[in-house]
Amino acid sequence: MKLPLAILVTALVAFTAYAGPGHDHGDDAAPPSANGPQRLPDGSVFLPKPSQRQLGVRTTLVARAELPTSITLNGRVILDPNAGGRVQPMLAGRIEPGPRGLPSLGQRVRKGELLAYVHPSASQIERGNQAAQLAELSAQRDLAVKRLARLESLEGSVPQRDIEVARADAKSLQERAAVVGASLRADETLVASADGVISTANAVAGQVVNAGDVLFEIVDPARMRIEAVTFDPALAADIGAAALDLGSGRTVPLAFIGAARTLRDLALPLQFRTTGGVEAPLAVGQPVKVIVQSRRTVEGIAVPAAALVRNPANETIVWEHTGAERFVPRVVRYAELDGANVAVLAGLEPGARVVTQGASLVNQVR
């Protein structure tokens, strides 16, 4: 009985040790490399020099200084009345394209450039009255011309004053008939009211429009205005500088124009304009963020906004470069300076070397 039992045990061992093809579970996971990027137990990050260059990590020394306080306001882009305009017909009528056709969105135009025609619309009675008036004036003009010719033939025997009066009557009737005749055939010309780009086009060939309809709007992309609102009227007298926040650290400098003296929905409108002649990617009516710096200052450390990231606890941190290959997170409290920089008020010491580029990539190391 012992021999069969020993044979059975041997067979089971052989089956376990030599599984058939496709039944293996693969190799065990390789241990992490001690020389690669990794998060250390204390929360710091070990990042070798080659990895730093590959991720484009950049650092800078920071110092404490007196920095201006700032506030972010909601605003929208509006048309600059001195660098744009609207094209509206004075008469009701039918739209007819110009020699270059109707302008399209985004097309650049020059002031005074012909955009379209408006063929005036008039009722049959109005046209009939104009035609009758033209016929009457033409008849009177012909009689005045004949009378003038007869008097001129009798020059010397008739007073010169009568000849001059007849000449004036003939000229007046001729001009009146020309004006009435032109009104029957003339079309209203629509021309560009300013240099810029067509931002609104509401005209189609054959379209019937009313007097005062806005057919085209022209804007200058390099001269846009921003209207922001604040619930603190005292802010208007404390504005030192302003910038338009385009996101991703991009800003456009703004010049403060002035503040209204009438509240709108319990808020005070403030107007700014873009400076430098830069064509920012803006459109009329677009909601924007305006960062206004006041003349008041606060003591802090200026760092780029891209240096701020979030840790797993959703706290705002910056990464301090404490060693050649070691980065330590620092929880900070900050205030906005402008769209590209912030002022760190607490959590960071002067003289620290802070990651200013690639902080989000360092924050992803696990």
Average pLDDT over residues 279-303: 85
* Helix ranges restricted to H, the chain: 2-17, 49-55, 124-153, 160-185, 359-363
pLDDT given for residue 214 in this prediction: 92
pLDDT at position 17 over 50: no
Average pLDDT over residues 217-245: 87
| Cα-based distances in Å from 64 to 145, 300, 318, 332 | 94, 5, 16, 14
Helix (H, G, I), strand (E, B) or coil at 74: strand
> What sign results for the dihedral spanned by CA atoms 117, 122, 124, 130?
negative
pLDDT given for residue 125 in this prediction: 66
pLDDT at position 250 over 80: no
Higher pLDDT, 310 or 125: 310
Choose among 314, 300, 313, 305: nearest CA to 344. Answer: 300
Question: Within 13 Å and on the Cβ side, how many CA atoms surround 183?
Answer: 16
Least confident range from 102-106, 181-185, 293-297, 316-320: namely 181-185
d(CA 306, CA 248): 8
Choose among 264, 243, 265: nearest CA to 254. Answer: 243
Domains in the chain, please, with CATH? 39-69+298-363 (2.40.420.20), 71-81+220-295 (2.40.30.170), 85-218 (2.40.50.100)
pTM comes to 0.59
138-151 pLDDT per residue, tens: 888 888 888 888 87
